Structure 1
Amino acid sequence: MGRPALTRDDVLEAAAGLVKQHGPGALTMRKLAAELGTAVTSIYWHVGNRESLLDALVERTVADLGEIRPAGRTPAQRIVSVARILRRRLRAHPHLIAMVHERGLTERMFLPAQQALVHEVHAAGLRGSRAAEVVRAVHFQVVGHVLVERARERAPGRRPGEPELWEPGTAEGDSALARALARPADPERLFTASVRALVDGLLSAE
């Protein structure tokens, strides 16, 4: 039985895989052709030149990040769920997200998440500038947290590290606090706690 015919989706899927693993700089038509076991001319036939390929990848990434389905019984719970979903998607595709940003489509990429937040903020009874403040605050919290996570992951090993820095003397005598700060942070738990506190404060503000 012959090999299935190559499709445009096959090309984009393979290109996304290369970018995800090695970054946009690793994406060449020759490497992509080798990954797919085909000729470079076949890649050009399906997606055009490299710039056209990058544009198609960006469009695909924007579409993949688009739909967000909140979960929870209350608007506050659903807003937190939107934030958690967005964080997971940004964490899963850092190189592809960087490509979207470089091509000036960042705001378009975030629009579906912001629209989901608008819906939940309206459900909480907020309108106008107060609603906009909540949407933007949650959005900035997500993006800022992801940037900090990525920076910590890429940073070289820190010396001294937190276990060496934190002891009762540097925690005002609070031994339990010192032990907790000496342990590695749980980014998911910390993110959820911070977003919940932010949302509760914003929705209850006079």
Structure 2
Amino acid sequence: MATRQRRTPQAAKFAILDAAERRLHDEGPEGVRIQRIAADLGMTDAAIHYHFGTREALMDALLRRIGRRLVDDIATTIESWAPDEIDVAALSRLFQRAYADERAARLAVWLSLAGWRPKGSGMFMPLVERVHRARIEAARKAKRPTPRLSDTQYAIALLSAAHMQAAMAGDALLASVAEDSKGLDNRDFLSFSVESIARRLAE
């Protein structure tokens, strides 16, 4: 058990989220438990309940933290693009890190089973807008018709969904399409998805 420390309320919340994220990374959502985090930080269970209320509320805050980090990473990435550039592979790496490496996909499923519902806050709207501007610029240069916004929205939603599904149940998904899925690989599935989406966005 860690030695107890005095922390400001804000520092305590950050420390709790840091500890919860470490547990999430090492053990998945099942490892994010109030008692374990309290022991990690030298806090009482009551102190964690004071800051977050319930385990579900802590998990929700953790998912939102990972989501904000993904949005910030996307913003940094798209700032470097040329006006008509869309680097779907770079976006894929960011979704992979958030959904698989940081366990956001499994955390979202856990919360969903606990009754949580996303509020549909449009977290990827800046990405959609930037990608669509690039599509419009590329179409203008090539003298093609203006692309539809809905196609851009569907493409970004599909990119997100492919990475989330691969992180949650990629092996099971691939097993559903073959008697023997040994020749199928999650990485190849994501590469196929990225290439397909990139081709559609280039239209």
- Whether the TM-score (by the shorter chain) exceeds 0.5 is yes
Determine which of 30, 33, 42 is the counterpart of 1:28: 33
Q: CA deviation at 1:185?
A: 3.4
Q: Confirm or deny that 1:139 pairs with 2:157.
A: yes
- 2:10 equivalent to 1:10: no
Q: Which residue pairs with 2:116 in the alignment?
A: 103
Alignment deviations for residues 134-191 of structure 1 (CA, whole Å, 9 cap, x no partner): 2212421441354145424469x9xx8556xxxxxxxxxxxxxxxxxx4x6370x553
Pairwise CA RMSD: 3.7
Q: Is the 8 A contact 1:87 1:142 kept in 2?
A: no
State the 1:31 CA deviation. 2.0
Give the secondary-structure state (helix, strand or coil) at the position aligned to 1:38. coil
TM-score where L is the length of structure 2? 0.65
Q: Is the 8 A contact 2:171 2:186 kept in 1?
A: no
- Deviation readout 1:37-72 (Å, 9 max, x if unpaired): 332233234333434423432332332222212355
CA contact 1:20–1:95 (8 Å) conserved in 2: no
The one of 49, 55, 72 equivalent to 1:50 is 55
Change (3 A) 1:99 1:197: same
**Alignment partner, residue 195 of structure 1:** 194
TM-score after normalising by structure 1: 0.65
| Structure exhibiting the larger radius of gyration computed from Cα positions | 1
Structure 2 spans left out of the alignment, 5+ residues? 140-144
1:46-195 paired onto structure 2 within 5 Å: 46-67=51-72, 68=74, 69-70=77-78, 72-73=81-82, 75-92=84-101, 93=103, 94-99=105-110, 101=112, 103-105=116-118, 107-108=120-121, 111-125=122-136, 130-148=148-166, 150-153=168-171, 161=180, 182=183, 185=185, 187=187, 190-195=189-194
The alpha-carbon distance between structure 1 residues 85 and 133, as it changes in their structure 2 partners (threshold 3 A), is same
Q: Whole-Å Cα distance in 2 between the matches of residues 114 and 72 of structure 1?
A: 17
Change (3 A) 1:57 1:161: same
Q: Could you tell me how far apart the structure 2 residues matched to 1:17 and 1:154 are?
A: 26
4+ residue segments displaced more than 6 Å: 126-129
Aligned length: 180
Distance of 1:131 and 1:104 partners within structure 2? 26
Q: Is the 8 A contact 2:70 2:98 kept in 1?
A: yes
Identity of aligned residues (%): 19
Segments of 5+ residues of structure 1 without an aligned counterpart are 164-181
**What amino acid does structure 2 have at the position aligned with 1:10?**
A
